[in-house]
Amino acid sequence: MSALTGLGPIETNLLTTYGAVGALSDGSFLKNARILEVLDDAHQIAPLFGYRVLCDLARPYVSHLRLVDFNGNYGSPDFSEASARYTESRLTTLGDVALEAENALCPAVPIGLVNGTTHVDGPMPPFDPGRVVAALVAANDGASDEELIATIGLPSLPTGCAVIADLARFASGEPTELRLEARIESVHDTILHISRLPPRSSPSDIGTAIERMARGSHASADFPIADVNDASQRGETLIVVRVLDGADTPAVVRNLTAVWGVHRTMKVKLGRPLPTLLRAWLADHGTNDLPGQLAPIVASTGN
């Protein structure tokens, strides 16, 4: 991982490639096929693999801090992205800052600390960007371990799903299992909306599973469901469930939460206690103008 941004080698090579071809945030979009060609020539990274990483840096359901501004279809949890021949991209403003940090033209930025590595099957979970900024500022001001843990809290997934875990165990640096749950909201007496799915949950697979259960032997008691529809749109998943008249809605919600995909589990590990992780970043990379150093992250999230 890069010491300056916390990004992986393919991500940093992509940043370098965007810089080489001039696809910066204030410039024109460039065909992704061309970007991948340069990436392969300069760093020997196969286009298919490089394209997945490129798209992930643009997908709001994968990365809190998006470094790539994408023009075209970058895919969804159910569908793959369009061919690189038909899509374009350039760096975001934060992508520009990350490239400058990698080139030692500006101070380090804790992008990897926010985005984590679980999206590439690593152990480090993502955190809410605003909480990371607040925790680093608090650590710089001498906050206690307990105050830092309370400030940053549990991991935060980009999809917005609920995260349930033992905070004390997680913050100690021990291996921890997170339970991730989608949001289920009653919008009408007979209509439920399932949204903010855990990462890697497929709306179509969940819909199929619910329909199968609704047709099962215990459907009338546990899954009194009339129909299920996937109403997802770009960047936002939504499953609409219509229950039968007179159904016990709270009980239906509990049963839906038990469906795999509506909930998932994720094993994570920080490697060191959370307060130590924050203080180590400050010791290695903090500057006298910490608010200014972290301002690009604040600006990129609108906080």
Q: How many domains does the chain have?
A: 2
Residue entry with tokens 């009980």: 251
CATH number at residue 15: 3.90.199.10
At 220 the pLDDT is 65
Contacts of 100 (CB under 8 A, 6+ apart): 106
In a domain, 74, yes or no: yes
Closest by alpha carbon to 93, among 144, 18, 155? 18
Lowest mean pLDDT among 136-150, 245-259, 261-275: 245-259
CATH number at residue 222: 3.30.1360.40
For the packed helices 47-56 and 9-21, what is the interaxial angle rounded to 10 degrees? Answer: 90
**Residues 101 and 8 both lie in one domain:** yes
DSSP structure class, residue 119: G
Cβ atoms 31, 88 nearer than 8 A: yes
Residues in the chain: 303
In a domain, 113, yes or no: no
In a domain, 197, yes or no: yes
For residues 206-232, average pLDDT: 84
At 303 the pLDDT is 45
In a domain, 286, yes or no: no
Where a domain ends, among 57, 72, 106?
106
Amino acid of residue 191: I
Closest by alpha carbon to 295, among 152, 12, 106, 69? 106
In a domain, 134, yes or no: no
pLDDT in tens, 225-258: 999 999 988 768 899 999 999 889 999 999 999 9
Output 109 or 188, whichever has higher pLDDT.
109
Residue 43: both structure tokens together: 């760093």
pLDDT in tens, 273-292: 999 999 999 999 999 999 99
Domain extent, residue 203, equals 183-261
Q: Is the pLDDT at 218 greater than 90, yes or no?
A: no
pLDDT band at residue 1 under the 50/70/90 scheme: confident
At 235 the pLDDT is 67
Where a domain ends, among 73, 106, 139?
106
Q: What is the pTM of this model?
A: 0.92
Distance CA 299, CA 292 (A): 11
Closest by alpha carbon to 54, among 25, 81, 26? 81
